[in-house]
Chains A and B, each alone.
Chain A
Amino acid sequence: MATQLVLEKWPGLISTVTLGAKKEEGGSRAATVKIGGENTLPILFNEGSIPNKPAIAFEVWDVPPEDWPEELAGAYGKVLSDPFAWADKCVNEYKAQTLCVRMQGAHPDFGDKGAQEAAKFVSALLKKVNVPLVITGCGDDAKDNLILPACSEAAKGERCLIGSAVQDNYKTLVASVLADGHSIIAESPIDINIAKQLNILISDMGLGLERIVINPTIGALGYGLEYAYSIMERARLAALSGDKTLASPFICFAGQEAWRAKEAKAVPEQGIIWEVITATSLIQSGADLLVMRHPAAAEKTAKYIDALFMNK
C-alpha cells in the first residue's frame, strides 16, 4: 500500500505586499515585485499555495561603503564610488529585480547629509533605474526621522518599502508612508512579542496590516541564525493559524549580517558561501525578501530558489 502523506491545512494567509508601481498605477517602475501571499509553510507546495517566490533585493548605498571587506567591495569595483553606476550595474548586469538603498550618507558619522539632499538622491535614483525600491535609513533615529519622510515624499506613488519603524520610533515614518502610498518595514530585535506589538501599533495609526513587512532581525550563520530561524518559524506558525497581527511577509538583511562574520572575511570565497547559507536557511524559515550584497551570492541564492520552485 502506498504511504499516504498527512497534509496540513491552515486557516491563515500571509498578506501580499507589492513593491513598486507601474505607470498605470501612478508610479514609473517597469515591473512590480510581489512578496508573501502564502498560506502554508515554506516549500510545502502540496499543503497550500505559495504564489510568490522569495525575492532578492541588491543592497546599494548612497555613499561608498568604507568598511566592506575587499572581496565584497572588489566584486563591484569602481562603481562603488558612484551610487548611480552601482545601482545601474545591479539592474543591468546582475539583473536585480529590486534594489534596497541604504541612506548611510545621512548618518552623522558618515556624511551627515540633510533631508533635501536625501530626497534629491532618491528622485535621481528613481530616474536612473526602473526597478522597485526598498529604502532604509542610516540607523540614527533622529536623523532617520528627518530624511525618511523626505525620501518618502520624493518617491510618492512609487510604492516603495521604507524602513525601519521600531517600537520606540515609528510614528513619523508611519505617517509619511501612509501619506505617500508606500509600505513599511517593522523591525523588532529578534523578539516575536515586540514584532506583534509593533504591527498592532502601526495598524492602529491607520496603516493596514497588509502594508507591513516584518524585519525580524536575523543573525548570520554562526551568529544566532538558528535563533532568528525559530522566531520566524514561530511567528509564521501563529500567522498561518489565524493570527493576523503576525501575517506579514519577512524581509531579512542576509548580506549585512553575513559579511559581519569574521569567517566571511577569513578565506577567499568563504564570504560568498556565508551569505548564501545564511540566505538559503532563512528561506526555509519563511523569508520572503532577502537583502543581499555579493552578486555571486545573490546569483547562487536565486538559482537555489529556482530549483526549489522548479516542481511547484
Chain B
Amino acid sequence: MFIIGELINGMYANIGSAIKERNKSEIQKCALAQLESGADALDVNCGPASRQPLVDLPWLVEAIQEITDKPLCLDSSKPAVIAEGLKAAKNKTIINSTTADPEKLDTIIPLAKQYHSKLIGITISAKGIPQNKDQRLELAATIVATCSEKEFPIEDLYLDPIVLPVNVAQAQMKDILESIHEFRIISDPAPKTIVGLSNVSQGTNVRSLINRTFLTMAIAYGLDSAILDPKDKELMDALITAELILNKNIYCDSYLEAYRKK
C-alpha cells in the first residue's frame, strides 16, 4: 500500500498558521512525524483559507524538500496552483487532482507529462458527484481514455472513486468499494486506485474506527494507495494486518514491527 500522509493541509489550525507566519520548522516537524509513522509520500495543501496559494504551495514544497526526498502530492483544484508547485518541486510529484471534465483534463495531463508527475483522477465532473457505480465507471473511463489519447502512462494514473461520508451517503458505500475493484479492469496496464480516506468518517464521532474499517475493506477490494493520517497507529496496524491477510507480507509474531522496519 502506497501511503500518502494527509496532515500538511492549511485547513488544520497548526498548518494554517504556520503557512501564514512562514514557520518552516512547524511544517517540517509535521512532515517528519508522518514519514516516521510510515508515510511513503506527503500530501501538500495550502488550504481553503490561503489568500495566495500560488505562493504558499511552492513555499510548502520547498520547506518539505529540505528534509525529505519522498514524493509530494500537490493538492489543489486550481491548475495554476499545481503548476507553481510542480515548478518548485525537486522531489517526485503526484498531482492531486484532475476531474473528468475535458477542460480540466486538457490542462492537467500535459502538466503531468511535462513534469513526469503521477496523476490522481477523481471521478467527478461539472455535473456533480456520481450517485452510483456506473456513473463512477463512466467518469473513470473518460479519464483513462483521455490519458491514453494524450499518451500519459496509465500505470502512473491513480483513480479516486470519491469517498463520501458514511453519514451522508451510506447507500453508496458498497458501490464505492466495488468501483475500486472495477477501475482496475478498465484497461491493461491497469490504472491504480486511491482514496482520500478521512472523508468517510466526516461528521461522525468514531472517526478512527470508521476510517480503519473502511480502509480494511477497501484493501480487500484491491486498493493501491490512500491519503490518510499515518499517525493514527490503530489505522496503520489495521492496514498492515489487512495486507498480511492478503499474503502480501510474510507472517511472523512481530509482523507489525517487521513492516515498520521496511
| Cβ–Cβ contact A193 & B251, under 8 A | yes
Flag whether B49 is at the interface (Cβ < 8 A): no
Q: How far is the CA of A200 from the CA of B257 in the complex (A)?
A: 8
Chain B residues whose CB sits within 8 angstroms of the CB of A200 once the complex forms: 252, 254, 257-258, 261
Flag whether B171 is at the interface (Cβ < 8 A): no
Flag whether A305 is at the interface (Cβ < 8 A): no
For B, the interface residue count at a CB cutoff of 8 angstroms equals 10
- Given the interface contacts A243-B262, A244-B262, A245-B261, does A238 sit within 8 Å of B250 by beta carbon? yes
- Given the interface contacts A200-B257, A242-B262, A245-B258, does A194 sit within 8 Å of B252 by beta carbon? yes
Q: Which residue of B lies closest to A235 (CB)?
A: B250
Minimum C-beta distance from A205 to chain B (A): 13
Q: How far is the CA of A44 from the CA of B249 in the complex (A)?
A: 24
Minimum C-beta distance from B205 to chain A (A): 37
Minimum C-beta distance from B142 to chain A (A): 32
How many residue-residue contacts, CB under 8 A, span A and B?
35
Q: Mark A51-95, 1 if CB is under 8 A from B, else 0.
A: 000000000000000000000000000000000000000000000
Chain A positions 230-251 with a Cβ under 8 Å from a chain B Cβ: 234-235, 238, 242-246
Flag whether B253 is at the interface (Cβ < 8 A): yes
Q: How far is the CA of A197 from the CA of B256 in the complex (A)?
A: 11
Flag whether A113 is at the interface (Cβ < 8 A): no
Q: Which residue of B lies closest to A196 (CB)?
A: B252
Chain A residues whose CB sits within 8 angstroms of the CB of B257 once the complex forms: 200
Chain B positions 239-262 with a Cβ under 8 Å from a chain A Cβ: 249-254, 257-258, 261-262
Q: Mark A181-225, 1 if CB is under 8 A from B, else 0.
A: 000000000001110110011010000000000000000000000
Chain A residues whose CB sits within 8 angstroms of the CB of B252 once the complex forms: 193-194, 196-197, 200, 245
| Cβ–Cβ contact B254 & A197, under 8 A | yes
Chain B positions 15-35 with a Cβ under 8 Å from a chain A Cβ: none
**Which residue from B253, B261, B262 sits with its C-beta under 8 Å from A197?**
B253
Q: Mark A111-139, 1 if CB is under 8 A from B, else 0.
A: 00000000000000000000000000000
Chain A positions 28-42 with a Cβ under 8 Å from a chain B Cβ: none
For A, the interface residue count at a CB cutoff of 8 angstroms equals 16
Q: How far is the CA of A38 from the CA of B258 in the complex (A)?
A: 22
Chain A residues whose CB sits within 8 angstroms of the CB of B261 once the complex forms: 200, 203, 244-245
| Cβ–Cβ contact B250 & A196, under 8 A | yes
**Which residue from A201, A203, A243 sits with its C-beta under 8 Å from B250?**
A243
- Given the interface contacts A242-B262, A243-B262, does A193 sit within 8 Å of B250 by beta carbon? yes
Minimum C-beta distance from A148 to chain B (A): 25
Q: Which residue of B lies closest to A201 (CB)?
A: B254
Q: How far is the CA of A201 from the CA of B254 in the complex (A)?
A: 9
Chain B residues whose CB sits within 8 angstroms of the CB of A196 once the complex forms: 250-252, 258
Minimum C-beta distance from A241 to chain B (A): 9
Chain A residues whose CB sits within 8 angstroms of the CB of B249 once the complex forms: 238, 243
Chain B positions 207-262 with a Cβ under 8 Å from a chain A Cβ: 249-254, 257-258, 261-262
Q: Which residue of A lies closest to B255 (CB)?
A: A196
Q: Which residue of A lies closest to B251 (CB)?
A: A193
Q: Which residue of B lies closest to A238 (CB)?
A: B250
Q: How far is the CA of A70 from the CA of B253 in the complex (A)?
A: 44
Among A197, A201, A246, the one with the most B-chain Cβ atoms within 10 Å of its Cβ is: A197
Q: How far is the CA of A19 from the CA of B250 in the complex (A)?
A: 28
Q: Which residue of A lies closest to B258 (CB)?
A: A245
Minimum C-beta distance from B70 to chain A (A): 16
Chain A residues whose CB sits within 8 angstroms of the CB of B250 once the complex forms: 192-193, 196, 234-235, 238, 243, 246
Q: How far is the CA of A200 from the CA of B255 in the complex (A)?
A: 9
Q: How far is the CA of A197 from the CA of B253 in the complex (A)?
A: 6
Chain A residues whose CB sits within 8 angstroms of the CB of B253 once the complex forms: 193, 197
Minimum C-beta distance from B2 to chain A (A): 13
Minimum C-beta distance from A166 to chain B (A): 14
Chain B residues whose CB sits within 8 angstroms of the CB of A246 once the complex forms: 250
Q: Which residue of A lies closest to B253 (CB)?
A: A197
Q: How far is the CA of A245 from the CA of B254 in the complex (A)?
A: 11
Minimum C-beta distance from A78 to chain B (A): 47
Q: How far is the CA of A108 from the CA of B102 in the complex (A)?
A: 81
28 A–B contacts from the bound complex (CB under 8 Å): A193-B250, A193-B251, A193-B252, A193-B253, A194-B252, A196-B250, A196-B258, A197-B252, A197-B253, A200-B252, A200-B254, A200-B258, A200-B261, A201-B254, A203-B261, A234-B250, A235-B250, A238-B249, A238-B250, A242-B262, A243-B249, A243-B258, A243-B262, A244-B261, A245-B252, A245-B258, A245-B261, A246-B250
Interface residue ranges, B against A (CB under 8 Å): 249-254, 257-258, 261-262
4 closest Cβ pairs, A-B complex: A196-B252, A197-B252, A245-B258, A200-B254
List 18 extra interface pairs beyond A197-B252, A203-B261, A242-B262, CB under 8 A: A192-B250, A193-B250, A193-B251, A193-B253, A196-B250, A196-B251, A196-B258, A197-B253, A197-B254, A200-B252, A200-B254, A201-B254, A234-B250, A235-B250, A243-B250, A244-B262, A245-B252, A245-B261
